[in-house]
């Protein structure tokens, strides 16, 4: 008989607006999806008045407007709180909050006193039950243990209520983990480094904002379960988030309208349009929208700059909390080693930019900010079940990291087996005249062609002034930090334009994958080198031919006919090789190609001399 595998411990982010379940195995942490591919479960439960749960998640949320008194959203605000403590929050909720046993806050369903009451634990249990079923379907195994995250400021009663909700749902909550701790764990903080670190976690969601300062003290080497995460301070605002940004946009959209004439449907349409515009402006510079209202249609165009002017004070409020959290922790921004972003609203570029300015370092953004807490809870689950040993937690970079160049070859920037942390830079240029943007594809692997490697992500360096091919100087920097997070940044030296992206190269990669990729590289080594060489020769020859043709146009009358025959012959020979190599790289001999390129270089010397002499003589 084989020993029973450790039963899996899933990680659950039981959020105010949305909840998620994740698991962490040898491929690292991942969110478990339902049959329709949805990862986020809206934290909304619709009841019928006798107290039976009718719908959980998307369906319940869709019906919220129709059944405001029996559809329970944001119940996290009531967990483990007395009715009097919850009174201020109850004002924001569409359903009735009354006093239940032991003076605790409970929900009275419907309009009358005959409606049943449900406790916040029961509502949370309905959500957890749904997540448990989702996890079991995705994993094909029963799930009975979970790590559940809670806000750092949750007191004992709130944590106990969360555990009780788990028990009601048939889940043993083996640990409650602070949300900021989970976010840090998702990035491997504490799992790799050997020294103490201070982390700031900035969490801006739809309706709440929290910032926490954590200290991570590594425990026994090789035993992540002994690492110690201490919350040094927290600050925030339980009613500040993306919703406020939407309201600012609604005000702008409805500026010329008679607000009193707007129906609830109009208000909902304006809010939905505002949120869509806000989200679009995280990617685009400008968006236009038309919104059909009962009184007619309003249309508006908003630019990113206008949105940022509107959102400035909103972002500043969060930064005040950051400064307070630093003060309470008796730390300066410089003493923060890393900044982690959580929550959908941290996708707003202005938020990222201001957070970077305040803390003086780029924040971690490689993971989806909606998922990072659940992913970290799954990592904690794996640590507790002993599964984390299978995860790829290496002190060296297991596979080379590079950039795809013209023609699809790979320029390796950081070689495999480099120690972590690692940093390297490489210069690149453009292959076409007047290119105003460059796409940078980050690849991982030992093969010479990008198509045979793993693509980790891509980004665009935009806004370059038009320049001839080969003239822009693009410096690309790769930086892998102690947690294995890769920051790639590119800057064009002449224009100062910059762009960057963050990825986690070990995500989804197992030891077996690494071994296989190494083996494949060895098997194909000779052919790959040949191909890489030909592809580079094509790119360089094209640039040479172009430069020579341009110069020749200017100096042709000053060159001897015999020399012209020699030069044009060399150019034609190389052009022919380029054409043939482009059709089939195997169809050319790389050595002969190289010689042809050198022959043209040599033949063009006289032309360059004449050209320079003519330039000098004016
Ligand atoms: P959360 O509570 O973490 O799920 O965050 C939800 C909030 O994030 C909502 O206010 C969304 O409008 C906002 N959000 C989601 N994606 C984006 C985006 N790409 N740009 C700006 N805000 C976003």
Model pLDDT for residues 89-148, shown as the tens digit of each residue: 888 899 999 999 999 999 999 988 888 999 999 999 999 999 999 999 999 999 999 999
What is the number of residues in the chain? 618
Question: What ligand 1 atom has the least distance to the C-alpha of 245?
Answer: 10
Best probe residue, ligand 1, of 204, 345, 368 (max atoms within 8 Å of C-beta): 345
CA of 135 to the centre of ligand 1 (A): 24
User: How far apart, in Å, are the Cα atoms of 278 and each of 128, 239, 241, 288?
Assistant: 31, 19, 13, 11
What residue's CA is closest to ligand 1, atom 19? 279
Coil, helix or strand for 425?
Answer: strand
Catalytic residue among 34, 55, 164, 179: 179
> In the prediction, which pLDDT does 391 show?
63
Distance CA(34)–CA(531), nearest Å, equals: 44
pLDDT tens per residue, range 481-491? 988 899 999 99
Average pLDDT, the chain: 92
pLDDT tens per residue, range 291-312? 999 988 999 999 999 999 999 9
Structure tokens that stand for 193 in this block: 């480094």
Fold of 524-617: Substrate Binding Domain Of Dnak; Chain:A; Domain 2 (1.20.1270)
Q: What would the mean pLDDT of 389-410 be, rounded to a whole number?
A: 81
CA dihedral 173, 241, 68, 16 (to 10 degrees): 0
Catalytic residue among 34, 55, 203, 246: 203
Q: What pTM, to 2 d.p., does this model score?
A: 0.89
Residues 6+ apart with CB under 8 A from 175: 147, 148, 380, 384
Of 222 and 475, the one with more pLDDT: 475
What residue's CA is closest to ligand 1, atom 15? 344
Q: Residue 194's pLDDT band (boundaries 50, 70, 90)?
A: confident
CA of 204 to the centre of ligand 1 (A): 8
CA of 345 to the centre of ligand 1 (A): 4
Distance CA(61)–CA(47), nearest Å, equals: 12
Residue 216 near residue 189, CB atoms below 8 Å: yes
Q: Is pLDDT at 394 greater than 70 in this prediction?
A: no
Using CB distances shorter than 6 Å, the residues near ligand 1 are 17-18, 205-206, 241-243, 275, 278-279, 282, 343-345, 347-348, 370
Superfamily of domain 401-507: Substrate Binding Domain Of DNAk; Chain A, domain 1 (2.60.34.10)
Distance CA(476)–CA(461), nearest Å, equals: 11
Residue 467 near residue 434, CB atoms below 8 Å: yes
pLDDT tens per residue, range 469-481? 889 999 999 999 9
What residue's CA is closest to ligand 1, atom 21? 279
Q: Does the annotation count 179 as an active-site position?
A: yes
Q: Does the annotation count 203 as an active-site position?
A: yes
Distance CA(396)–CA(373), nearest Å, equals: 26
Phi-psi region of 417 (alpha: psi -120 to 50; beta: other; left: phi over 0): left
> In the prediction, which pLDDT does 3 show?
43
CA of 61 to the centre of ligand 1 (A): 16
Phi-psi region of 117 (alpha: psi -120 to 50; beta: other; left: phi over 0): beta
What residue's CA is closest to ligand 1, atom 8? 344
CA of 370 to the centre of ligand 1 (A): 8
Domains of the chain by residue range? 242-312, 401-507, 524-617
Beta bridge partners of 401: 414, 444
Residue 127 near residue 156, CB atoms below 8 Å: no
Residues 6+ apart with CB under 8 A from 53: 45, 46, 47, 126
Structure tokens that stand for 399 in this block: 């596979």
> In the prediction, which pLDDT does 608 show?
86
Report CA torsion sign: 151, 156, 157, 159.
positive
Among 321-325, 425-429, 532-536, which range has the highest average pLDDT?
321-325
Distance CA(433)–CA(543), nearest Å, equals: 10
Residue 11 near residue 23, CB atoms below 8 Å: yes
Q: 172-178 and 145-150 as β-strands: parallel, antiparallel, unpaired?
A: parallel
Report CA torsion sign: 186, 190, 194, 196.
positive
Residue 238 near residue 89, CB atoms below 8 Å: yes
DSSP letters of 101-145? GGGBEEEEPSSSTTS-EE-HHHHHHHHHHHHHHHHHHHHTS---E
What residue's CA is closest to ligand 1, atom 16? 344
Among 384-393, 447-456, 525-534, which range has the highest average pLDDT?
447-456
CA of 480 to the centre of ligand 1 (A): 28
Distance CA(246)–CA(482), nearest Å, equals: 38
Best probe residue, ligand 1, of 16, 77, 242 (max atoms within 8 Å of C-beta): 242
CA of 311 to the centre of ligand 1 (A): 14
Query: Which residue has 């790979």 as its token pair?
Result: 410
Question: What ligand 1 atom has the least distance to the C-alpha of 343?
Answer: 3
Q: What angle do CA 569, 573, 575 make, to 5 degrees?
A: 115
- Could you tell me which of 228, 231, 219, 215 has the C-alpha nearest to residue 194? 219
Fold of 242-312: Actin; Chain A, domain 4 (3.90.640)
> In the prediction, which pLDDT does 1 show?
40
Q: 498-503 and 105-108 as β-strands: parallel, antiparallel, unpaired?
A: unpaired
Q: What would the mean pLDDT of 359-364 be, rounded to a whole number?
A: 96
> In the prediction, which pLDDT does 392 show?
61
């Amino acid at each position: 008989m084989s020993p029973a595998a450790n039963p899996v411990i899933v990680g659950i982010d039981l959020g105010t607006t949305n909840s998620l379940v994740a698991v962490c195995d040898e491929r690292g942490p991942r969110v478990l999806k339902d049959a329709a591919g949805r990862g986020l479960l809206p934290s909304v439960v619709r009841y019928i008045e006798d107290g039976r749960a009718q719908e959980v998640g998307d369906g319940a949320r869709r019906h919220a407007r129709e059944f405001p008194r029996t559809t329970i959203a944001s119940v996290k605000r009531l967990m483990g709180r007395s009715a009097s403590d919850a009174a201020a929050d109850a004002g924001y909720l569409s359903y009735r909050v009354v006093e239940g046993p032991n003076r605790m806050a409970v929900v009275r369903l419907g309009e009358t006193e005959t409606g049943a009451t449900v406790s916040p634990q029961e509502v949370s249990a309905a959500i957890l039950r749904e997540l448990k079923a989702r996890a079991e379907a995705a994993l094909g195994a029963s799930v009975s243990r979970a790590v559940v995250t809670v806000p750092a400021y949750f007191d004992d009663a709130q944590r106990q209520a969360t555990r009780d909700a788990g028990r009601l749902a048939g889940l043993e909550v083996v640990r409650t983990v602070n949300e900021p701790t989970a976010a840090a764990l998702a990035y491997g903080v504490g799992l790799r480094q050997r020294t103490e670190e201070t982390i700031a976690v900035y969490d801006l969601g739809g309706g709440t904002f929290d910032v926490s300062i954590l200290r991570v003290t590594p425990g026994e080497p090789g035993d992540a379960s002994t690492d110690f995460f201490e919350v040094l301070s927290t600050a925030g605002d339980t009613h500040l988030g993306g919703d406020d940004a939407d309201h600012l946009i609604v005000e702008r959209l409805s500026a010329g309208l008679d607000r009193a004439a707007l129906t609830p449907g109009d208000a909902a349409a304006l809010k939905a349009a505002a949120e869509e515009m806000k989200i679009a402006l995280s990617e685009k510079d400008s968006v236009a929208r038309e919104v059909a209202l009962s009184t007619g249609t309003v249309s508006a165009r908003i630019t990113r700059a206008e949105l940022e002017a509107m959102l400035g004070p909103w972002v500043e409020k969060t930064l005040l909390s950051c400064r307070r959290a630093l003060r309470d922790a008796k730390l300066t921004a410089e003493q923060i080693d890393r900044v982690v972003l959580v929550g959908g609203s941290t996708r707003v570029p202005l938020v990222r930019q201001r957070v970077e300015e305040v803390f003086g370092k780029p924040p971690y953004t490689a993971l989806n900010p909606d998922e990072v807490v659940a992913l970290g809870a799954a990592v904690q689950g794996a640590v507790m079940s002993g599964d984390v040993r299978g995860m790829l937690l290496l002190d060296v970079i297991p596979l080379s990291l590079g950039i795809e160049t013209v023609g699809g070859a790979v320029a390796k920037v950081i070689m495999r087996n480099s120690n972590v942390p690692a940093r390297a830079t490489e210069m690149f240029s453009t292959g076409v005249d007047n290119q105003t943007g460059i796409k940078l594809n980050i690849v991982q692997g030992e093969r010479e062609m990008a198509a045979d490697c793993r693509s980790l992500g891509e980004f665009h360096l935009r806004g370059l002034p038009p320049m001839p091919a080969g003239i822009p100087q693009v410096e690309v920097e790769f930086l892998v930090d102690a947690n294995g997070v890769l920051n790639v940044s590119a800057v064009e030296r002449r224009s100062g334009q910059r762009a960057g992206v963050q990825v986690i190269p070990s995500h989804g990669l197992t030891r077996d994958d690494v071994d296989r990729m190494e083996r494949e590289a060895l098997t194909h080594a000779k052919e790959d080198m040949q191909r890489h060489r030909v592809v580079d020769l094509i790119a360089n020859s094209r640039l040479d031919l172009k430069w020579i043709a341009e110069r020749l146009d200017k100096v042709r009358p000053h060159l001897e006919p015999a020399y012209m025959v020699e030069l044009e012959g060399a150019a034609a020979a190389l052009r022919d090789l380029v054409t043939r190599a482009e059709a089939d790289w195997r169809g050319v001999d790389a050595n002969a190609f190289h010689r042809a390129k050198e022959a043209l270089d040599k033949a063009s010397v006289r032309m360059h001399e004449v050209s320079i002499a003519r330039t000098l003589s004016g």
